[in-house]
Each structure stands twice: as C-alpha cells, then as structure tokens.
Amino acid sequence: MKTIFFSGPRWIWVLVFAVAFGFARAPLENRLTERLQGAHLLPALPEQQVMDQMRQSVLLGTLGGLRSLISTFLGLKVYNHFADREWEELLETYEIILALEPREEAHWDMASWHLGYNATADMSKNPFLNEFEAEQRRIEFAWQGIRLAERGIEALPESVKIRRRLAGIYESRLKDNCAAADIWGEIAIRRPALFAPFSCLFSGAMSGERTGSL
Amino acid sequence: MNRPLLSPATVWVIGRATVTQLIRMKAFYFIVGFLLLIVCSRAILPPSSPAADLMNLRKAVFGGIDVFAWLFTIIATALLIPKDIEDRTLYTILAKPVRRGEYLLGKLFGVLSFIAMSLVIMFFVASAVIALLEGQYVAEETALMQERGISAEEISSQLEFLKSQGFRWTLALAAFVSFLKASVVAAVTMFLSTFATSSLFSIIVSVVLFLIGHAHSLVSSYYAYQTEDSPFVASISGIMKILIPDYRIFSSSEGIVAGETVTGALMLQTGALAGGYVFVFYLLSLFVFVDKEC
C-alpha cells in the first residue's frame, strides 16, 4: 500500500484525494447552505439584474464579512442622491443595498420612504416639468415606493414598520384610503396595542364611514 | 520501542513554541489595527437613530473581526514553515524524535490557538464598546421619552428594541463562526506552504483561493445566466466547487450579527464541516511534507 502511494508523482495522489473529498462534501455543503439560507443566516444570491448593476468593488464586498459594511457606506451614497434629488440613481443604489441585506427592515422602509414620499414631493416642485408630466411622474414614483414596500413585506412578512410606510403612501400620495385601511387592518392584527386608543376611529375606517387618516 | 503515531505532548510543545514565535513576531499588533477600525467606524458611519447606530457599529465591528481573522490567519500560517526552514529551526526539530505529522499538527494547533486568543480579545473589546454605547443611548432615550411624557409601557417597549440592537451574548457565536472559517483557511494555507517555494506564493495563492471559494457560487450563477447555462461554464464551475473550499458557508456570522436566530444543530454542522476540512487538508499537507527535503 505504502509503495503505491509513495511511488508515483505525489501531486497526482494529492489531486485524487482532493477530488474525492470534493465529491464527498458537495452534497453536504449544498444541504447546509440551504439550511443556513432557510434560517436567514446566509443571504440568497442576488438577482441577475442587480448583479449587473454591482461594480466589482461591491461584488468583492459581498465576500468575507464586508457585506454589511458595504451596504452601510452605500447608504452614504443614497444620501448624496437624495440631496441632489437624483431619484433614479437613488433607486439603483437601493436595489444593491436591498440585495446585500434583504432582511434589514430599515432599508425597505427608507427606500420606500424616499421614493414614495420624497421623490413624489419633489415632482410637484420640479420647475422643469409641466403640470401633467409632474403628476404622471409623481404617481409613478408613488407606485415605485409601493412596490418596494410590498417587496419588503414579502421579505419580512411580520414587519409593521414597512406596512405603516405602505399605508402612508397609499393614504397621502394616492389618496387611496381603502387600500390604506386594508394595510392598517393588517397592522392591527400584528400590533393590537398600537390601536387601542384609536379603536373607534379604526372601526370607522374599516367600515368605510371615515375617509381621513387615522 | 515503538512510538505512538502522534504524541499529544510533542504536539503541545510545538504548538506552544508556535504561539511564542507568533508573539515574538509582534503578531498581536494587528489588534491595534482592529481598535483603529472601531474608532474610525464610530467617526465615519453615517449618523442615524440610536438603534440603527448600534446595529451599524455591531456590523462594522464584527465584519472587521471576520476580515482580520482570515487575513491574519493566511499571513501567519504562510510565514511559519518557511521561517523555520530559513532559521534552520526545522532541522533541529526534525533531528529530534519528532514525527513530521506531529510537527505539522503542532504548527496548526499553535496558529489556531493564537487566532482563538486574538478572537477572544477582539470579541471582548468589541462587546465592551457596544455595551458602553448601548448604556449611553438607553440613558439618553429614557430621559428624552420621560420628558415627552410617553407611557411607561411604550418606553419599556422602545428600550427593549434598542437593547436588541446592542450587545448580546449570541454575538460570541459570530466570533466562533469566524474562528471556524479561519481554521479552514489555516489548514489550506499550511497545505500550500508545504510545497510553496516562498511565503509570498502561499499568501497570494491562499488569498486567491479564499476569494474564489467565497465567490464561485455567485460568479458561476451570474455567468451561467449570461451564457444561457453553457456546459463549459457549468464544467468550470463544477471543477472549482470540487477543488476549492466553499468559504461562503462559513459566513453565517453576518446573519448572527444582524440578529437572526441560530440553532445549535446548524452550529454543530458548520463546526463538523470545518473539522472535516482541517482534517483532510492536514492529511494532504502531511502527504506532501513527509518526504520533503528541507
């Protein structure tokens, strides 16, 4: 046995052992990765569209513990876009942040707030847009905010914070009180204590008697 | 008289000598870099609410621990065997009744002990900073909410949330996962340094393997999509997966730091996988090193 292992070139045997170990561990690793992803300890791979937007530095940042740091610093970039009122760029940056940290409630909340509130408000004040165009773009951004919040709820089904944001956009930007009341209803199921002082208003909103905000 | 295949006493002595060697190389100085990271992160991180601030600090600090652990492991492990050859220490050791397996295991044990000690120090420093900041925020927020006349129940619920973003003992598990990753990195680097001609070669190849091991699932999924599942891309990706350790599995520390619940079974499975890697790469190192002409 000893002569077989020690006679030929050593690297061949090293390669054979490495390949055998690779085949043995691959199914175990796949299972463990699935379990870790199921427990949200490992993030799922980002979608292709988002990977296209990621630069090499960001892709490298997803390695070895830098994911959170990169998303924090992309937050600074978002702030610059917000200050410069660059809403499309802000959305692109948020797509990367959300792909890096899809379980971070604050990112979904802030992304939908920026699009649903700030971008819509900015459209109304934009001197370069005529009234019709400004209104079209305002509604478009409100829907982008809504879509982000809905994706956030899909990622974090129990989130009250994102639901509050979503209800707010429906209510204040689209004047859709019915949709807002539905969302408040979902919140009430999850956080009844939040509604105790307003129970009479809430029941009114749910039955359609009240159309204002809660 | 037949000697046992591995004498724990010999391994222990070589391990202790390795720790001493690393301390003499002033390897603990890298902790100073970590302390700088903590100070800088407090200064650079964007201002936000107290809860978000605590969470950002937690992520920055534990992300730093993870990066410091694997980077330091690569450098320390790659330097050890070539340094013993350069100093002629290896000849003195192997002229004594010490098996090569004992020598390699002792070196690995020494590096891992040193990494474990460093991680414990970094964990306690990080925890102390987070706990101090948490205490400061809790006091400030309590005073602010009482001033605004917010009900005791709401104050307690807000403080509970704030505390959940601060220090928790489960963060020790994040440091433990970083240690597991560092163990695999150490075993792979030691294997490389048994046939490498220089420390620089071991460091560069080990870093490249680490990056590939982390990124191959991401990159192969990307190129598979771009090339519409080309068989060539699939084959390359398969070869990489089989030959290079999957380091991504050992990145669950990020999830733990973010506050996700971790089960003992998952920790056990991750630990067993890391143990498997260390054992196999130790055997491969031994296989190469056993006939090496020093």
Rg of chain A, C-alpha, whole Å: 25
pLDDT bin (cut points 50, 70, 90) of residue A199 is low
Q: Of all residues in chain A, what percent carry a pLDDT higher than 90?
A: 36
SS3 at position A214: coil
Whole domain around residue A65: which residue ranges?
A: 47-207
Contacts of B241 in chain A (CB under 8 A): 22, 26
Q: Rounded CA gap, A68 and B61, in Å?
A: 10
Whole domain around residue B64: which residue ranges?
A: 8-289
CB atoms within 10 A of CB B163: 16
pLDDT value at A56 more than 60: no
- Beta carbons of A69 and B59 less than 8 Å apart: yes
| Residue B279, both tokens | 């054992």
- Asked if residue B270 is part of any domain, the answer here is yes
pLDDT value at A212 more than 60: no
Contacts of A105 in chain B (CB under 8 A): none
Q: Of all residues in chain B, what percent carry a pLDDT higher than 90?
A: 38
- Beta carbons of A45 and B218 less than 8 Å apart: yes
Q: Rounded CA gap, B136 and B134, in Å?
A: 5
pLDDT value at A203 more than 60: no
Higher pLDDT, A125 or B171: B171
One domain, residues A7 and A83? no
Nearest-CA distance from A42 to chain B in Å?
5
One domain, residues A80 and A67? yes
- Asked if residue A5 is part of any domain, the answer here is yes
> Minimum mean pLDDT among A69-73, A177-181, A199-203, B96-100: which range?
A199-203
Across chain B, mean pLDDT equals 87
One domain, residues A37 and A129? no
Contacts of A21 in chain B (CB under 8 A): 280
Contacts of B249 in chain A (CB under 8 A): 29, 32-33, 36, 42
One domain, residues A121 and A184? yes
> Minimum mean pLDDT among A104-108, A188-192, A210-214, B78-82: which range?
A210-214
B14-32 average pLDDT score: 86
Residue A165's pLDDT is what?
A: 94
- Beta carbons of B249 and A69 less than 8 Å apart: no
Residue type at B142? T
For residue A181, what is the domain's CATH number? 1.25.40.10
One domain, residues A27 and A81? no
Residue A198's pLDDT is what?
A: 59
- Asked if residue A214 is part of any domain, the answer here is no
One domain, residues A100 and A36? no
B interface test, pick of A41, A93, A161 with most B CB neighbours within 10 Å: A41
One domain, residues A6 and A22? yes
Segment 105-124 of chain A within 8 Å of chain B by CB: 106
One domain, residues A62 and A148? yes
- Asked if residue A134 is part of any domain, the answer here is yes
- Asked if residue A152 is part of any domain, the answer here is yes
Count of domains for chain A: 2
Looking at the partner chain, which of A14, A41, A79 has a beta carbon nearest the beta carbon of B262? Answer: A41
One domain, residues A62 and A147? yes
- Beta carbons of A13 and B60 less than 8 Å apart: no
Residue B18's pLDDT is what?
A: 92
pLDDT digits (tens, 9 = 90+) for B175-224: 999 999 999 999 999 999 988 878 899 999 999 999 888 877 777 777 77
Residues 6+ apart with CB under 8 A from B2: none
pLDDT bin (cut points 50, 70, 90) of residue A210 is very low
Count of domains for chain B: 1
Rg of chain B, C-alpha, whole Å: 23
Residue B221's pLDDT is what?
A: 75
pLDDT value at A61 more than 60: no
| Residue A35, both tokens | 């379990």
One domain, residues A17 and A103? no
Contacts of A45 in chain B (CB under 8 A): 217-218, 221
Q: Does A101 touch chain B (CB under 8 A)?
A: yes
pLDDT bin (cut points 50, 70, 90) of residue A63 is low
Residue B98's pLDDT is what?
A: 85
